[in-house]
Structure formats: C-alpha cells, structure tokens
A and B are shown apart, each in its own frame.
Chain A
C-alpha cells in the first residue's frame, strides 16, 4: 500500500536554529498538509498546499514557517528560527481530493528544541 514517508524520524535542534522537515507524499496525490501534535495534546492543522501554493494556513503557521515542493516528489516544512514551544510531533499528510476523502499520514518527525 502506498505510504507517505517522513524524514528524519527524530530531530534535535538548538533554539534559534533552522530545521527542515521532509516528506514524500503519495505520488498521485494532489493535496498536501502539515499538522503537528504537542505531546499529550490534539493534532493541530498547520498548512495545506495545492497546485504549488498554500491554500490555507492556521494562526500557528506564522512567518517562521514555510513550505515548499521543490520537485515533483518532496514536500518540506521549514522552521526558520526554532523556539522551545515548537517541540512537537510533525505529521505530513496527502490526499487525492482534499478533505472530502481520508488522509494518508506519514509516521511523523519528532522535533525536540533544546
């Protein structure tokens, strides 16, 4: 069964450093998403991406965050200057036709900011 692949599985970074989280969505999917889950809390929407542009973003997704689809397969989330409160599990997801259908999520990247 097709999978969404995320790398790395765990990243530790110092406060103020830039991090890039990588995702390879399912090849024929058209909609891409980033969500995050702070330990013990709800899964929160960050951003959706379609047709090479952001279609929606949450209040969490401020100027420190950016997304890119640099080639036909990768989808990245960049955090420019990490803060302690950015520590969370970050999930990438993709769908063929948006939220009208079930998402396929990756296994996540656990980001720890120290």
Chain B
C-alpha cells in the first residue's frame, strides 16, 4: 500500500464552485504539504500543515489535518479556470530524517468556465 493516496483521482467542477481533495497516509508524520502541478510543469508549493495543527488557511486554500485518521483535505474555494492542475499531498515522515517527502498519487482538477 502507498503512503499517500488521494481521492478523487479526478474532479471536474464549474468555475466559482468549491473543490475538495482528500489525502490519506499510513505513517506518523512531521508535516503534510500540498503541491500543485500544471500539465508538464514543475511542482509549486501551496501550503504546509504541521502535525500539531488541525487547520490552516492561505488565501482561497484551506487545509485540514486529522492525525488520528491519518488524513488531510485541501479545499479550494471559489475556483477559477486557472486552478486547473494536478494537486499532490506530500508527507515528511517521522523517523525519515527530514531528508525527503513522500508524494501521493494526485488529484487532477479541471475547472470549467
């Protein structure tokens, strides 16, 4: 089984709607990060939530973390066509030495006009 699994795998919404993506993981973590990847491009860091935090906001982004369920969600409010991208969660695992991130499978978000 994989450390980071996200659902849904793909999500299609209308502009102005909210988009929610979920991430589940298996090990204890120091923090969980969300990244966006536009098609064929690099990864852009969106937000980081530490294991002792439950919720964090950044602009139109809201991230929650439930360490008891080993899950996180990313909510994008009032979506725009420019939000169309793949979104990945990534975890910094306890005992991992802080040397790497383990990425999830990603959610492909399409925001239609």
Contact = CB atoms under 8 A, between A and B. Distances in A.
Nearest to A3: B42
Contact of B97 (A56, A91, A101, A110): A56
A98 B99 contact: yes
B44 A105 contact: yes
Interface in A21-36: 31, 33, 35
Contact of B42 (A33, A58, A106): A106
A91 B43 contact: yes
Nearest to A43: B103
B43 A55 contact: no
A91 B99 contact: no
Interface string A82-95: 00000001010100
A58 B103 CA distance: 14
B28 to A, nearest CB: 14
A56 B100 contact: yes
Interface in B82-111: 88, 90, 92, 96-106
Contacts of B26: none
Interface residues of A, number: 27
Contact of A56 (B31, B40, B99): B99
A44 interface: yes
Contacts of B100: 33, 45, 48, 56, 58, 99
B102 A45 contact: yes
Contact of A108 (B2, B42, B104): B42
Contacts of A45: 100-103
Interface of A: 31, 33, 35, 42-45, 48, 50, 55-56, 58, 89, 91, 93, 98-108, 110
26 contacts: A42-B2, A42-B4, A42-B104, A42-B106, A43-B90, A44-B103, A45-B103, A98-B99, A99-B30, A99-B101, A100-B31, A100-B92, A101-B48, A102-B33, A102-B48, A103-B33, A103-B43, A103-B45, A104-B45, A105-B35, A105-B43, A105-B44, A107-B41, A107-B42, A108-B42, A110-B40
Given A99-B101, A102-B33, A103-B101, 16 more contacts: A42-B104, A43-B90, A50-B99, A55-B97, A55-B99, A56-B97, A56-B100, A89-B40, A99-B31, A99-B92, A99-B98, A100-B30, A102-B48, A105-B42, A107-B42, A110-B40
